[in-house]
Amino acid sequence: MILQRIGELLFPSKCVLCRSVLAKEEADLCHECRKEISDFSKPKRSIPFLASWTALWYYNGSVRKSLLRYKFSGRRSYAGPYGRLLAMKLLREYPMGFDILTWTPISRLRRFKRGYDQVELLAQAVARELDMEATQTLVKIRNNPPQSGITGHAERRANVLCVYRAVEPERFRGKRVLLLDDIITSGATASEAARVLLTAGAAEVTCAAVAASDNEQKNKPNSR
Ligand SMILES: [Zn+2]
């Protein structure tokens, strides 16, 4: 109890978006961010091979900065708050739930360099909240250049083509799959992952991400 109190004093919980110290009654997000940061509303466009998709926030401002800290500055603890908030949204939007929960993996090389797969951590956090397991269904078999350096939809699509291979398809054959990703920009990555899962026998694939841009040209794209 005393140790916990000292821990709280030394490492106070901070808002995952603006990093202000949270008050006692606040969790994950401060009141200000809960008020100011707009939730991602219904997607304006469909993404090939996805039955539907959703996200928690728009990919800009403090959301973008938060995700960059999560991916590149070792803030792996953000998986908890992201996962809790995303799971709440999924429960509201998809009351029927899913049969299996999985994620778009990063390459082994990138995972080795970063020390963690940020999307796998997110999938585990969402799975905990939904009382499911995060099941690996894909491996990345080609270390493609980051999507961030590539402009143009056809080019982004080509860059992710055949980067994934399905593993143990008997685990998801005929099932409704929830595919977790961190950011959806053009949707090319999620679309390619869904294509591979459907080809391997999945009944349908829905993608959920922490953030998405509904206008692929405007925002700085995903860098994986
Ligand atoms: Zn905040």
> Would you kindly state where each structural domain of the chain is located, as residue ranges?
1-36, 38-212
Integer CA distances (angstroms), 183 to 31, 159, 169, 220, in order: 24, 17, 25, 11
The CA-CA-CA angle for residues 65, 93, 56, to 5°, reads: 0
Give the distance (Å) from ligand 1 centre to CA of residue 28: 9
Task: Report the amino acid identity of residue 65.
Answer: K
Give the distance (Å) from ligand 1 centre to CA of residue 224: 25
Give the distance (Å) from ligand 1 centre to CA of residue 17: 5
Give the distance (Å) from ligand 1 centre to CA of residue 62: 9
> Tens of pLDDT along 120-156?
999 999 999 999 999 999 999 988 888 878 888 889 9
DSSP lists the bridge partners of residue 21 as: 14
CATH, domain 38-212, list 3.40.50.2300, 3.40.228.10, 3.40.50.1820, 3.40.50.2020 = 3.40.50.2020
Give the distance (Å) from ligand 1 centre to CA of residue 86: 16
Give the distance (Å) from ligand 1 centre to CA of residue 182: 19
> Tens of pLDDT along 57-91?
999 999 999 999 999 999 999 999 999 999 999 99
In this prediction the pTM is 0.90
